[in-house]
Amino acid sequence: MNINPLKGMKDYLPDEMKLRDYVQGKILETYRRYGFLRIATPILEDAENLDKSEGGDNLNLIFKVLKRGDKLEEALKAGEEKALSDMGLRYDLTLPLSRYYAANRAKLPTPFKVIQTDRVFRAERPQKGRMREFVQCDIDILGDGSSNAEIELIYVTAQALLNIGFTNFTVNINDRRMLRGMLNSMGFTADTLESVCVTFDKMDKIGAEGVKKELTEKGFPKESIAALTAFLKNGDFSLEKVTGYLKDKALSEDVTAIINSVRKLTAGRFDISYTPALVRGQGYYTGVVFEITCAAFKGAVAGGGRYDGLIGKFLGENIPAVGFSIGFERICSILSESGFAVPAAPQMALLYREEADFAEVLQKAGRLSEEYAVTTLKQSKKLGKQLGNLEAEGYEAVAFFDNEEIKALGQKTEK
């Protein structure tokens, strides 16, 4: 039998889990302090729900689960590929939350401020930074259509990152309605805007010439491409400049209000910037979108946006909704690579002899645990070697059951 985890999945060693628990603990502690409530949903979702969720490229990465028994036999006989599966593993936490809210709306407060920290699955091609199973840490506000929801999510997410130890990061913000309005004014038709936005979203990776090349290959009008290229090469990506392209100038009001409010809250610890090329990949976003980037690290460490139409697919009426997700795996990777040490009580080994009453050993461990993280271990005949091994494993102190002395490891101990 194979002892290795499946491709794109990972076993975590104790030190790795210590870091992951610390990061998740800090995130949960922060979110709860601001009144968010934690829920949990199943990892499996109805296949039709997943297919209709407007998850962008993620819809091509769903792990589908085959039907069982007679239903599978019937589907195989029918020869219809789509009929073989009736459920799949969730690819994010937003679709499950939308279904959850639709099912439990009568039992939930309005607005509903919710936490989700859980595993999601995508059939990615495994590579560094891309796993098939990973953890997402989300907060969402459902039932508030005002920009207050975005302001609160940005502020609380920033507080979580600050509490973990991140500083000097930037919240990048855009509004899909503004972007679509600008592109429309440049001559791109409404039915092509999604495709144009997908290319525009690559601006930070391929540059203005790359955007021009890809749009040309897609066959868009030369005049429209020229107008967008001129905008990109001009270098003025200010909110005022983009607003000038809009027929409905009021579209920029939400972004302006959010930026002004968040700037009052930053206290110089982080920044917020209008970023017109920010799109976000999921198709369910309807308005404001945002990401957090750190100059010291490549890529975003958090992202989200408003998705006012997704819950309506279940209820038949639109419910205002906005969410922000911290890139948990990204955060853990950055901290691990930087040599971050998890703050913790000093580790102690409580050594006892074979003949000791183990119940009394545990009682003593309980008393010592008020100041130390205590592990009970049988005392070896080769005590010096045992102490050396304990020191190498990170233990900072040792106590013995049969006396009250506590010794720091590294000092000569005679027994």
Question: pLDDT value at position 280?
Answer: 84
Average pLDDT for 10-22 = 94
Average pLDDT for 121-132 = 84
Q: If pLDDT is split at 50, 70 and 90, which confidence band does 56 have?
A: confident
Average pLDDT for 131-143 = 95
Task: Please choose, from the candidates 227, 265, 260, the residue with its C-alpha nearest in 3D space to the C-alpha of residue 244.
Answer: 227
* 137, pLDDT greater than 60: yes
Rounded CA gap, 175 and 414, in Å? 69
Contact 136, 93 (CB under 8 A): yes
Q: Which domains does the chain have, with CATH numbers?
A: 14-43+90-337 (3.30.930.10), 347-408 (no CATH)
Q: Which of 36-45, 66-75, 227-236 has the highest mean pLDDT?
A: 36-45
Percent of the chain at pLDDT above 70?
A: 98
* 351, pLDDT greater than 50: yes
* 35, pLDDT greater than 90: yes
Least confident among 48-52, 64-68, 333-337: 64-68
Q: If pLDDT is split at 50, 70 and 90, which confidence band does 335 have?
A: very high
Instruction: Give burial (CB, 10 Å; 0-12/13-18/19+) of 11.
Output: exposed
Average pLDDT for 358-382 = 94
Question: pLDDT value at position 139?
Answer: 97
Question: pLDDT value at position 412?
Answer: 46
Contact 311, 54 (CB under 8 A): no
Average pLDDT for 217-241 = 89
Q: Does the predicted model carry a pTM greater than 0.95? A: no
Instruction: Kindly report the average pLDDT of the chain as a whole number.
Output: 90
Percent of the chain at pLDDT above 90?
A: 66
Average pLDDT for 41-57 = 89
Q: If pLDDT is split at 50, 70 and 90, which confidence band does 283 have?
A: confident
Least confident among 103-112, 138-147, 257-266, 335-344: 335-344
Amino acid present at 274: Y
Rg (CA), the chain: 27
Average pLDDT for 20-32 = 96
Tally DSSP H helices, then E strands, for the chain. Answer: 15, 15
* 96, pLDDT greater than 90: yes
Question: pLDDT value at position 315?
Answer: 93
Least confident among 130-134, 193-197, 258-262: 193-197
* 415, pLDDT greater than 50: no
For 157-213, write each residue's pLDDT tens digit.
999 999 999 988 999 999 999 999 999 999 999 888 888 888 888 887 888 899 999
Average pLDDT for 38-52 = 93
Q: If pLDDT is split at 50, 70 and 90, which confidence band does 321 have?
A: very high
Question: pLDDT value at position 235?
Answer: 79
* 71, pLDDT greater than 70: yes
Rounded CA gap, 301 and 137, in Å? 11
Q: DSSP for 213-268, please give it.
A: HHHHHTT--HHHHHHHHHHHHH----HHHHHTT-S-GGGGHHHHHHHHHHHHH-TT
For 76-92, write each residue's pLDDT tens digit.
767 776 778 889 999 99
Q: If pLDDT is split at 50, 70 and 90, which confidence band does 410 have?
A: low
Average pLDDT for 23-41 = 97
